[in-house]
Chain A
Amino acid sequence: MIAIIAVSVVTIGTLGLGTWAVRFARTTSDLFVASRAITPWWNAAAVSGEYLSAASFLGIAGLAMKMGMDAIWLSVGFSAGYLTLLLFVAAPLRRFGSFTISDFVEARLGSPQMRLLAAAIVLGIAGFYLVPQLKGAGITLREVTGAPYWVGVVVVGAIVAVNVSLGGMRGITYVQAVQFWIKTFAIALPACLLLIYLGGLPHKSALFGADVPRAPADGLVVKLDSPRTVTFPRPTVFRENGVLHRARAGEKVELAAGKLSLPAGAAVPLSSGVERGPGVVWSRPVGHGGRDGPLFVYSLLIATVLGTMGLPHILVRFYTNPDGPAARRTTVRVLGLLGLFYLFPTVYGLLGRVLAGGLYVTGETDSVVLRLPHLAWPGVPGNLLSALTAAGAFAAFLSTASGLLVSIAGTLSYDVWGRVRRSGAISARARRARFRLGAVLGIIVPALLALAAGGLDIGLLVGWAFALAASTFCPMFLLGIWWSGLTARGAATGMIAGATVASVGIFAGLIAGDNVNGALGALLAQPAVVSVPIAFLTMTSVSLLDPSARPDPEPLMLALHAPEGLGLEQLEPASADSRDPAPV
């Protein structure tokens, strides 16, 4: 009940702020990019707020509980991505003055056809990224109200579509900044209070030693809404719908839907995909090979460290900085803010292993952040804290999904529609109508995918969006900004090659499932370590061999790298002007 109220407050607050802000969104440029005069701290909180998604709030802890401590490399990579963005992209991109990735691609490479390719990749990345947000919404609403999974997907999808088509981005800058602090408070406070209440980490043998997760002192009852195959790590006596059974160590048992009861201290049976080893194996940040070995860790780091700069909803935020140095200052502050947030998902992963054993039976560890507080601290305090994490999770989907949908709607309404149907100059009103239609269309496909993807881990889904971004836009930005020799043909070939290799890896991994192990399994689970170098190599070599005439690099380099204050910064590439709105 408390949780429902907390979630409603966050949702209504977001909608209210968005609606309030719409009164200020007088021109189309307000809808696309908020006014550029926002201070670095507001901007940094807004970037972080938009960035911290269901993957950060729920997914890292869930994956850590399921697969072990190798999942916390996700925290590291999600944060480190902003360092590469700072070093190579933030200031030049802001100076270049394009509004979106598609604008940059067209202006830098001097080829309007590139815009459609970039638009297709933007839609792929943003769509991939929206699916786990909606999945998070589905499981959160189920935790809070007991409603079926699809209800949350539909409700949050509708809220986000309405919010985006009414408010656009101006409203969302301040909403996003506030959402960052809601999320940080909502994950930090319960983590700290739980650690104090429990007096540190309990049952360390199951975490770091020779033991496995066990049922608590009053036994463990798990409700299964569908049959599950589980593995018993130790010999165990259990009741399935009241009937007594016995399982040997390592035995696979098909459990029927209904009620599973374990006596106090019994080893918890594990769903497929859960790390089977004792604490000493579970807590290794780097395993001995296979799916959690060094190859997987490096591939994950490459995807996240290089993928952040290719996320369309994040990059667009950097244009709200007034100039290049402000873009740098914003990014440094983002590193600080994210560093604070990412300390906490690990705590939930650790506590979840010993206190939320029931999730191992169902395999739905993504809900550990929501469920842990009231399992660890029975009574009112635990319920209050669970309500807080549910509210934070809602803030996470609303903010990230809104940002993604703004990118999707902008891409659909401007890049795709604008190119496919050339109708000459259109009124600002018609432009806004297209944007709103784009927002509605842009939520439908990801929502349908989210309904189908209920069994996939949020952390893995988001890892794929990063792999795609790292294999396409990352090499395009790095080479496009720092190497004047990049040609349109080279960039197109490289992005297509990277996207193809990454997608083939991901889909092959999806089909093969847990059947492939070892190095190949690691590569299919996260293909970035292969696809990123392929994209870079293709882009460079095709550019070098490209016989077509290159545009004169000097004006481009000037626009990318010349410092402000020389009267040069007003000179933006011609294509960016084409989008400048007429005041309404």
Chain B
Amino acid sequence: MSPPPPPAGGRRRTPRDELAEATAHGGLYLRRLVRAQLALSLLALVAFAGILGSLPLLLFLAPGLRTISVIGVPLPVFLVAVPLFPLFGALGWLYQQRADALDDAFRDLVER
């Protein structure tokens, strides 16, 4: 862990300096939060990229899917044109809940 930064020259002492200086654990907590947020984002990215990234490959490798018809269009066209949008929304909503929860946990930790 690096030593806390000195307050900027001449600037009014600020709560940020307090956090960095007064609570020796401030920097550690923050780095832990950043790592947790990044892990959450990467997890969501893996889910998102996994689904979106495998679809073109699936459609390329399985041309036979086109014989199946959904609401009057071949399955490959349907798969690209419709279900991805609600999926992105759901994934985004789930992420937002978890990310806000991580922020709240950090706030509780620092204010305690």
Measured CB to CB, the closest approach of chain A to B103, in angstroms, equals 4
Q: Is the CB of B45 within 8 A of A84?
A: yes
Contacts of B103 in A (CB 8 A): 324-325, 563
Q: Which residues of A contact B81 (CB under 8 A)?
A: 72, 75, 343, 346
Complex-state Cα separation, A521 to B70, whole angstroms:
33
Q: Do residues B60 and A294 form an inter-chain contact, with CB atoms below 8 A?
A: yes
Considering only residues 372-402 of chain A, those with a C-beta below 8 Å from chain B are: none
Q: In the complex, what residue of chain B is closest to A87 when comparing beta carbons?
A: B41
Among residues 66 to 120 in chain A, which have CB atoms less than 8 Å away from a CB atom of chain B?
69, 72-73, 75-76, 79-80, 82-84, 86-88, 91
Bound CA span A91–B74, Å: 39
Instruction: Say whether, besides A87-B45, A482-B38, A554 and B27 are in contact (CB < 8 Å).
Output: yes
CB < 8 Å neighbour of A563 from B79, B93, B107: B107
Is there contact, CB below 8 Å, between A286 and B59? Answer: yes
Contact of A80 (CB < 8 Å), options: B76, B88, B106, B111: B88
Bitwise interface map of B from 4 to 40 toward A, beta carbon under 8 Å scored 1, else 0:
1100000000111001100000010011011001100
A332 touches B76 (CB 8 A): no
**A338-B85, A554-B4, A566-B15 given as contacts; is B48 within 8 A of A83 (CB)?**
yes
Q: Which chain B positions have C-beta within 8 A of A234? A: none
Interface residues on B, range: 35 or more
Residues facing A in B42-71 (CB within 8 A) are: 44-45, 48, 52-53, 56-57, 59-60, 63, 66
Asked whether any CB of chain B lies closer than 8 Å to the CB of A247, the reply is no
Q: In the bound complex, do residue A558 and residue B30 qualify as a contact, i.e. CB atoms below 8 Å apart?
A: yes
Q: Are A561 and B33 also in contact (CB < 8 A) when A86-B95, A554-B27 are? A: yes
B82 touching A285, Cβ below 8 Å: no
B96 to chain A, nearest CB (A): 5
Instruction: Determine if A335 and B56 form an interchain contact, defined as CB atoms under 8 angstroms apart.
Output: no
Complex Cα distance, B93 from A5, in Å, reads: 41
Evaluate contact between B16 and A571: CB separation under 8 angstroms: yes
Query: Among the listed A204, A325, A561, which residue makes an inter-chain contact with B30, where contact means beta carbons less than 8 Å apart?
Result: A561
Query: How far apart are the CA atoms of A76 and B49 in the complex, in Å?
Result: 12
Residues of chain B lying within 8 A (CB to CB) of residue A79: 84-85, 88
CB contacts under 8 Å to B, within A166-208, are: 200-201, 204, 208
Provide the residues of chain A in CB contact with B84, threshold 8 Å.
76, 79-80
Given A86-B95, A86-B96, A561-B34, are A76 and B19 also a contact pair (CB < 8 Å)? no
> Does A568 belong to the interface (CB within 8 Å)?
yes
Beyond A335-B89, A557-B31, A568-B16, whether A563 also contacts B104 by CB under 8 A is yes
Is B80 a contact partner of A568 (Cβ separation < 8 A)? no
Q: Determine if A336 is an interface residue (Cβ-Cβ < 8 Å).
A: yes
B30 and A557 within 8 A (CB) = yes
Q: Does A528 contact B (CB under 8 A)?
A: no
Interface string of A283-327 (1 = CB under 8 A from B): 111101000011001100100010000000000000000001100
Q: Which residues from chain B contact A82 at a C-beta distance below 8 Å?
A: 88, 92
Q: Is the CB of B66 within 8 A of A208?
A: yes
Answer yes or no: A271 CB below 8 A from chain B CBs: no
Flag if A325 contacts B19 (CB, 8 Å): no
Q: How far is the CA of A332 from the CA of B98 in the complex (A)?
A: 13
The interface residues of chain B lying within 8 Å CB-to-CB of A338 are 85
Given contacts A201-B73, A332-B92, A571-B15, contact A554 B107 (CB under 8 A): no
The answer on a CB contact under 8 Å between A325 and B76 is no
Residue of B nearest to A195 (CB): B72
The answer to whether A342 has its CB under 8 Å from any CB of chain B is yes
Q: What A residues does B33 contact at CB under 8 A? A: 561-563
Instruction: Decide if B74 touches A294 in the complex (CB within 8 Å).
Output: no
Contact B96 A554 (CB under 8 A): no
Question: How many whole Å from B37's CB to the nearest CB in chain A?
Answer: 7
In the complex with contacts A297-B56, A335-B92, A343-B85 CB distance below 8 A: yes
What residues of chain B lie closer than 8 Å to A231, measured between beta carbons? none
Q: Does A329 interact with chain B (Cβ within 8 Å)?
A: yes
Complex-state Cα separation, A328 to B89, whole angstroms: 12
When distances are taken between beta carbons in the complex, the residues of chain A under 8 Å from B45 are 84, 87-88
Q: Give which listed residue, A201, A482, A568, contacts B72 with CB less than 8 A.
A: A201
- Of the A-B pairs whose beta carbons lie under 8 Å apart in the complex, a sample of 20, sorted by A's number, is A69-B76, A69-B80, A73-B56, A79-B84, A80-B88, A83-B91, A208-B66, A284-B76, A298-B56, A305-B52, A328-B96, A329-B96, A331-B92, A332-B89, A336-B89, A338-B85, A346-B81, A554-B2, A561-B34, A567-B15
Known: A288-B60, A558-B20, A562-B33. 19 other contacts (CB 8 A): A69-B76, A80-B88, A83-B92, A87-B48, A88-B45, A284-B76, A286-B56, A298-B56, A325-B100, A331-B92, A343-B81, A343-B82, A482-B34, A554-B27, A557-B31, A558-B30, A562-B30, A565-B107, A566-B19
Binding site for A on B (CB under 8 A): 2, 4-5, 14-16, 19-20, 27, 30-31, 33-34, 37-38, 41, 44-45, 48, 52-53, 56-57, 59-60, 63, 66, 72-74, 76-77, 79-82, 84-86, 88-89, 91-93, 95-96, 99-100, 103-104, 106-107, 110-111
